[in-house]
Structure 1
Amino acid sequence: LLVLAGTAIAVMVADGKVGILNPGAHGFSEVLYAFSSAANNNGSAFAGLSANTPYYNIALAIAMWFGRFAIIVPVLALAGSLAAKKRIPVSGGTMPTHGPLFIVLLIGTVLLIGALTYIPALALGPIVEQLILLAAK
């Protein structure tokens, strides 16, 4: 949500548009990558995005801060809540967390949520860019 909101705001405001050096889908991809990287990884950006502007310095710093520190508080609260709960004995309705079924369901859920979150934005950026390149041949 943080990545998509930051990208959406950056492509709507004038200061965000000024930093986009490549037009169209590639420029959108550069902004999406910059916010994805700032909020989730190391804070890098494509060379085609002029990220060393006051707008992008502040916007990416906010995304980086919330992407790192705002996540810590709910995760620690969740861990504390789980640690305080009493263990329940295994019953017939308990799904084992050490078997292949749990692993497949967990990986499938993570991939499905990730796909539903990012595919619309990817369809506007890198996928459109690839289709444009293929159509030009």
Structure 2
Amino acid sequence: MAVKLRSEYLSTNRGIIKIVQIIIGIILSFMVCRYWESGNYSCFSEYRTGYVGTLNYIVLILNIVWFVLNFINIRNWKVERIYAIICAVLFFIALGLLIFYFIDARLEAGYNIIGMILIGVMACLFLWDVQILQGESSNY
């Protein structure tokens, strides 16, 4: 099997989803380390925000890998579907933990709400990716 660039991947729904997930992952990386811990602690010191930070960094790296693999025409939709399902569940758990954390700590809104919205968007993007991989939604 020859490896070739598949530039049309960038115009598919899956390609756009991966690009948006990577951008949101980078934004969340800055938010988790700077604003959710007030910049005074490690990004992973508190278990609720530490879970979100760890999850985000791992998923960010894996999304970059999946993007590159799909761009060079190496596909494994079965594994990607399992990955997307797991990530969707994990991001919904992260959203629940953050909601509990912000209610418990009585933190101010601003960046916290934006971060929670972005976590919810990530979970929904993974659900949309699952629908495409299962053939329930169009990729074009």
Query: Higher relative contact order at CA 8 Å, sep ≥6: structure 1 or structure 2?
Result: 2
Q: TM-score, normalised on structure 2?
A: 0.28
Q: TM-score, normalised on structure 1?
A: 0.29
